[in-house]
A and B are shown apart, each in its own frame.
Chain A
Amino acid sequence: MKPVCILVVDDEVFLRHLVSYHLTRQGKHVIEASTAEEGLRMIAQARPDLVVLDLKLPDATGLELCRKAREELSYAGPILVLSAYGTPVNQALAAANGATAFFQKPFSPSKLLAEVDRLLIRRAA
């Protein structure tokens, strides 16, 4: 059975590493991107089952990536936004641009894993 593929887009190398570590330990296949451009390319090529996305990226905002993934790449998988800008406005904007869920930094790795599983199960259903 093909493992679940998850894309992690974040310019913070340590945070990418943290998320990747935990997902990999659960048997998921993790691919990483540090810029929006790189992230879009990976979505187009790898068609991941889920995307974990930071809102603040060096070359664009996570919102732009989200919108382009939905509109230009017709990506239908869940997108989990992970951001230190956890204001209600940003949450609403993320939802309006196609995000499936919002998680605020700092975060508990176990809770993040639980949320990822919930989204994957919902998608499968």
Chain B
Amino acid sequence: MTRSHNPNGGTRRSKTRSVREAIYRAVINAALLPAVLLSAAGGAVVLYLAFALSGRVADDVRLQDTEQTRWYAAADDLAGDVARPSIRLDSQRADPRTPFVAPPREWAAADPVGARAPVVYGSPAHAIRRSLLLAAAGTTAVLLFLGLLLAAHTRAHGERIAGCVGAHLQALRWAADRVAAGDLSTRVGRFEHEEPEALALAFNRMAATLGEAQHRLRQRRALFETTLGAMRDGVVVVGPHGGIAYLNPAAAALLGRECTETIGLLASEMFDAPDSAGPWNALLDPDGPDEVDMVVAGNLTVQASRTHATAEGAAAGLVIVLRDVSREREADRTKADFVSHVSHELRTPLAAIIGFTETLLDEPELDPDTRAEFLTIVKTEALRLGNLVTDLLNLSMMESGRAELHVSLLSLSELACESVALVRPSFEEKGLSISVDAPQDVVVAADRDQMKSVLGNLLDNALKYTDVGGAKVDVFARDGYAVVAVSDSGCGIPPDEVHKVFERFYRARGTTEPGTGLGLAIAKTAVAAHGGHIRLESEYGAGTKVSVELPLPQTEE
């Protein structure tokens, strides 16, 4: 049997035990008196029966004595010595030689059992009565003794039983306390007596059932905790009175709170900041929306959706699921910005095309030079529109991975020379220099058209944003990469805008140069598709250098 010490309940328990033992003693003492009385009563009955029996026997004997007395009387008469009748009571001590005197016959009639009939001392009746009385007295004494013995034994046994039962009850109570304290492995041992033993077995069965039920509950709770703990979405349970009843770790992380510190808080007091508190409180409002977006700690955008929980048909509060939708919302914003930019970039050349076309149609009397000028503008803007659509398609294809790469071995030195030859007239027209520095031939495995487009874009930017000096193209190999770098002595990029240059539709601040703002975004995507990198270094007001790094082909040994 498992035992454990309870330091706080010792005194109280011993007092209780004393009281209980006192009760047992009182009960046993109360049982003693009836036992003795019963023994005494038994003795008395035995005595009475013995006395009655002795009287009947004496009566029979007395009849015989009468005959004998008559015989004695006759003998006396013959002797002439008539003695005075002498009557002696049974209790009187008589001279053994005193002769019998027959009692009057009416005595026997008046005392049918002969109990009070005088018995002649020394007669046979007297002898029999004395023997019976002695036997009865002895029996009574024995009965009394046995009664006392039984009483003493009962008392001793009772005390022992009381002691045992008290100990058993104590053990049961201790075990019940342990179970109540949560230790459902507690069992009581075997008891000596039947009833406590049955009670102990019932107790043990109850403890075992409780233990199994608790084990199942713990398993379920563990499953529940593990599941909710592993969820990426946050779960907040709000009780029927508006208090936070549960918060899983993901919810705590999203809300920037500790699980434990929020339990019991009113849900409506969770947030102070308007971006959070407004939507959150709307969600708690029974008439509010079922889904809201809220901005929480760390500028996360969290989508909170609620479900009304019911238990046995009654409202049991709210289950709120929180989901970090920052990326989705950012993607939505990017997409919206992109659509807005595309829309703007398409509408601008369209506005010129439509405006000048309408003018040409409305004014047939226009002079030929003006007409030719307007038609040239329409053509230019139509080509711009075409380029924009091509760039958008290329970018879309490359970003989605649908652009097919036609890879072949390509000399970057040759490609640089070809590209520079194409733009040299434009540079010279603007009074700018342009040169290539390719001390050795560097070969890469790449899509020729895409690389030509990338290099052409970099040279175009250098031409647009350089007013003095010129540009230079360097081709070399370094650390397993082929590098082609375009440097210019142009206006450079403000430091706070350098990180934006590869974004779609980025245009240098203050530029009035034509362009879609997609060139560097396309270049970055194309280079990345070849497993390379593109880097930009710029000194505002002094120039810019853009380097394209492509992995060198692995040589087989």
Contacts of A59 in B (CB 8 A): 509-510
Chain A, 90-123, CB within 8 A of any chain B CB = 105-110
Chain B, 335-361, CB within 8 A of any chain A CB = 340, 343-345, 347-348, 350-356, 358-359
Contact of A105 with B356 in the complex, beta carbons under 8 Å: no
Contact of B356 with A18 in the complex, beta carbons under 8 Å: yes
User: Given that A22-B359, A105-B348, A107-B351 are known contacts, is A11 also in contact with B512, CB under 8 Å in the complex?
Assistant: yes
User: Given that A17-B377, A18-B359, A58-B511 are known contacts, is A106 also in contact with B351, CB under 8 Å in the complex?
Assistant: yes
A27-70: CB near B (< 8 Å → 1, else 0) gives: 00000001100000000000000000000101100000000000
A2-23: CB near B (< 8 Å → 1, else 0) gives: 0000000001111101100110
Chain B, residue nearest A87 (CB): B340
* Closest Cβ–Cβ distance, residue B347 to chain A (whole Å): 4
Partner of A84, one of B351, B381, B509: B351
* Closest Cβ–Cβ distance, residue A42 to chain B (whole Å): 16
A58 to B509, CA, bound (A): 6
Partner of A109, one of B340, B343, B350, B355: B355
A12 to B514, CA, bound (A): 9
Contact of A84 with B352 in the complex, beta carbons under 8 Å: no
Contacts of B380 in A (CB 8 A): 14
Contacts of B507 in A (CB 8 A): 58
- Interface class of chain B by DSSP: helix
Among B343, B353, B377, B512, max chain A CB count under 10 A is at: B512
Contact of A84 with B343 in the complex, beta carbons under 8 Å: yes
* Closest Cβ–Cβ distance, residue A122 to chain B (whole Å): 24
Asked if B362 lies at the interface with its beta carbon under 8 angstroms from chain A, I say yes
Contacts of A105 in B (CB 8 A): 347-348, 350-351
A125 to B352, CA, bound (A): 33
A35 to B512, CA, bound (A): 9
Chain B, 480-537, CB within 8 A of any chain A CB = 507, 509-512
- Interface class of chain A by DSSP: loop
Contacts of A17 in B (CB 8 A): 377
Contacts of B351 in A (CB 8 A): 12, 15, 84, 105-107
How large, as a class, is the contact surface on chain B?
20 to 34
Contact of B344 with A56 in the complex, beta carbons under 8 Å: yes
Contacts of A34 in B (CB 8 A): 512
Contact of A12 with B352 in the complex, beta carbons under 8 Å: yes
User: Given that A14-B381, A58-B510 are known contacts, is A84 also in contact with B347, CB under 8 Å in the complex?
Assistant: yes
* Closest Cβ–Cβ distance, residue B493 to chain A (whole Å): 14
Contacts of B358 in A (CB 8 A): 108-110
Contacts of B355 in A (CB 8 A): 15, 18, 106-109
Chain B, 100-142, CB within 8 A of any chain A CB = none
Chain A, residue nearest B350 (CB): A106
Contacts of B362 in A (CB 8 A): 109-110
Chain A, residue nearest B378 (CB): A14
Contact of B512 with A14 in the complex, beta carbons under 8 Å: no
Partner of B344, one of A14, A35, A58, A85: A85
Contacts of B353 in A (CB 8 A): 106
Contact of B352 with A14 in the complex, beta carbons under 8 Å: yes
A59 to B509, CA, bound (A): 6
Contacts of A106 in B (CB 8 A): 347, 350-351, 353-355
* Closest Cβ–Cβ distance, residue A93 to chain B (whole Å): 13
Contact of B510 with A85 in the complex, beta carbons under 8 Å: no
* Closest Cβ–Cβ distance, residue B373 to chain A (whole Å): 9
User: Given that A14-B377, A85-B340 are known contacts, is A109 also in contact with B348, CB under 8 Å in the complex?
Assistant: no
Partner of B348, one of A12, A58, A87, A108: A12
A15 to B353, CA, bound (A): 9
Contacts of A18 in B (CB 8 A): 352, 355-356, 359
Contacts of A35 in B (CB 8 A): 510, 512
A108 to B357, CA, bound (A): 10
Contacts of A107 in B (CB 8 A): 351, 354-355
Chain B, residue nearest A54 (CB): B348
A18 to B363, CA, bound (A): 13
Contacts of A11 in B (CB 8 A): 512
A106 to B348, CA, bound (A): 7
Contacts of B348 in A (CB 8 A): 12, 15, 84, 105
Chain B, residue nearest A22 (CB): B359
* Closest Cβ–Cβ distance, residue B302 to chain A (whole Å): 24
Contacts of A84 in B (CB 8 A): 343-345, 347-348, 351
A11 to B347, CA, bound (A): 14
Chain A, residue nearest B359 (CB): A109
Contacts of A15 in B (CB 8 A): 348, 351-352, 355
Contacts of B511 in A (CB 8 A): 58
Nearest 6 CB-CB pairs, A to B? A84-B347, A105-B351, A106-B351, A106-B354, A84-B344, A14-B352
5 A-B pairs with CB atoms under 8 Å apart are A15-B348, A34-B512, A84-B348, A106-B347, A110-B358
Q: Which residues of A contact B (CB under 8 A)?
A: 11-15, 17-18, 21-22, 34-35, 56, 58-59, 84-85, 87, 105-110
Task: With A12-B351, A105-B351, A106-B355 given, name 7 new contacts (CB 8 A).
Answer: A14-B377, A15-B348, A35-B510, A85-B343, A105-B348, A106-B350, A107-B355
